[in-house]
Amino acid sequence: MASIAFVQHDITARVPEMTDPTSTVEVPLTIRVDPLTGHSSRIVSGTKLAPLARPDLTELTAPPAFCPFCAATIDAATGTFDPSITAEGRIRRGSAVIVPNLMAYSEFSSVGLYDTASHFLDLPELTPGRVGDLLAAFAAYTRGVNGLRPLWSSVNANYLPSSGSSLIHPHAQSAHDGIGTTVQRNLVGLSRAWQGTESYWDALIAQEEGGDRWIGRRGRVAVLTPWAPIGFHEVWAVVEGARDITELTEEDCADLGIALSTVFQSYYSWNLTAFNWALYGGGPTPSERYSVLLRVVSRANPDAVYRSDVTYFERLHAEAVIDLAPEAVAAEIRPRFA
């Protein structure tokens, strides 16, 4: 018997017909409930919001007079880590570099570049190697910070201004403190409280493997789309047996790099441009019941006059309204990951 119940509510809305507003048509709507968190998502039909073309990024991404993250300036424009955290000063893995973050949004924070050699990397250039190296460098920094004391850790990324990024040079950021974030505390707390002989994450993967939302597996990294997304084109990578970012191996990071890069190639093929991703660590007292989760969503394209993809539904109700079912997203990414 399946141990996780995927609950969905099917609703029928009656709306005016577009071509003849004097008559009404019935439109199906599905509200899905996340089995772990209880949050609900609305899968709507009919309104496809996918962009028909990619915006021209030439002007937006042109090298500026000064960028702190380009190879020629990074050593002068950024600091080095305290030796109590790492003896490396700046942490370099392949093309990736991690340096202390100027923005204080956490007790410890770092910023990492996929590559300093190019000021801008479009989605196809965020290769498995570049992404994997970046994650390996963040894992090394997280282990360094955790050497001071165990903390809540996450690694997160904006990309282009429409996703919240203030700098164009592609980068990601880490956060480490004693509090964690709302979503992170919920994920770990609810995983700990999950009633089941095996962990929620083990049960989820066992149940989803080979199904409509399954994308594939590499090593300990299982890739799938979520039953009830919180964002557009959302994809998950779950690292089985890794309770915290500190436990990610070089191989895990390489496999996560392949997964994330595959998603970026798919986004590119759908005329998407921007994204956010988050890698949620398991907190200062990691539980066997939690597995590290990497979640990636697409964001609105940085058109000159763009409509935000975050409406009152997402911002104030914490409820995503999705127009492409998770099963359709998985079906398109699966062959690229194989």
Q: Is residue 182 helix, strand or coil?
A: helix
| Dist CA 284 CA 102 (whole Å) | 24
Does an H or E element contain 99, and which? strand 96-100
Among 36, 43, 44, 67, binds Zn ion (CB under 5 A): 67
Instruction: Identify the bridge partners of residue 146 per DSSP, sorted by sequence position.
Output: none
Name which of 6 and 120 has its Cβ closer to Zn ion.
120
Taking CB under 5 A as the rule, does residue 331 contact Zn ion? Answer: no
Name which of 35 and 170 has its Cβ closer to Zn ion.
170
| Dist CA 252 CA 140 (whole Å) | 13
Name which of 68 and 100 has its Cβ closer to Zn ion.
68
| Dist CA 143 CA 139 (whole Å) | 6
Taking CB under 5 A as the rule, does residue 99 contact Zn ion? Answer: no
Residue corresponding to tokens 């066997």 = 288
Name which of 119 and 143 has its Cβ closer to Zn ion.
119
Distant-in-sequence, close-in-space partners of 48: CB < 8 Å, separation ≥ 6: 323, 324
Name which of 78 and 142 has its Cβ closer to Zn ion.
78
Taking CB under 5 A as the rule, does residue 139 contact Zn ion? Answer: no
Taking CB under 5 A as the rule, does residue 114 contact Zn ion? Answer: no
Query: Considering only residues 160-189, where is the footprint of Zn ion by CB under 5 A?
Result: 169
Does an H or E element contain 108, and which? strand 108-113
Compute the radius of gyration of the chain from its Cα atoms: 20
| Dist CA 313 CA 194 (whole Å) | 27
Does an H or E element contain 278, and which? strand 274-280
Distant-in-sequence, close-in-space partners of 293: CB < 8 Å, separation ≥ 6: 187, 201, 236, 237, 238, 239, 279, 280
Name which of 62 and 179 has its Cβ closer to Zn ion.
62
Name which of 169 and 243 has its Cβ closer to Zn ion.
169
Residue corresponding to tokens 């996929």 = 114
**Of the ranges 28-36, 119-127, 211-219, 225-233, which one interacts with Zn ion (CB under 5 A)?**
119-127
What tokens appear for 156 in the block?
């997160």
Name which of 90 and 334 has its Cβ closer to Zn ion.
90
Taking CB under 5 A as the rule, does residue 293 contact Zn ion? Answer: no
**Of the ranges 12-20, 111-119, 126-134, 290-298, which one interacts with Zn ion (CB under 5 A)?**
111-119
- Direct distance between the N- and C-terminal alpha carbons of the chain, in angstroms, rounded to an integer: 29
Q: Compute the C-alpha angle 216/231/114, nearest 5°.
A: 65
Among 92, 119, 192, 336, binds Zn ion (CB under 5 A): 119
CB atoms within 10 A of CB 309: 19
Taking CB under 5 A as the rule, does residue 70 contact Zn ion? Answer: yes
- By CB under 5 A, the count of residues binding Zn ion is 5
Closest separation in Å from C-beta 221 to Zn ion: 30
Taking CB under 5 A as the rule, does residue 27 contact Zn ion? Answer: no
Taking CB under 5 A as the rule, does residue 71 contact Zn ion? Answer: no
Taking CB under 5 A as the rule, does residue 121 contact Zn ion? Answer: no
Taking CB under 5 A as the rule, does residue 74 contact Zn ion? Answer: no
What tokens appear for 60 in the block?
């937006």
Closest separation in Å from C-beta 74 to Zn ion: 8
Taking CB under 5 A as the rule, does residue 54 contact Zn ion? Answer: no
Name which of 113 and 293 has its Cβ closer to Zn ion.
113
Q: Interface residues with Zn ion (CB under 5 A)?
A: 67, 69-70, 119, 169
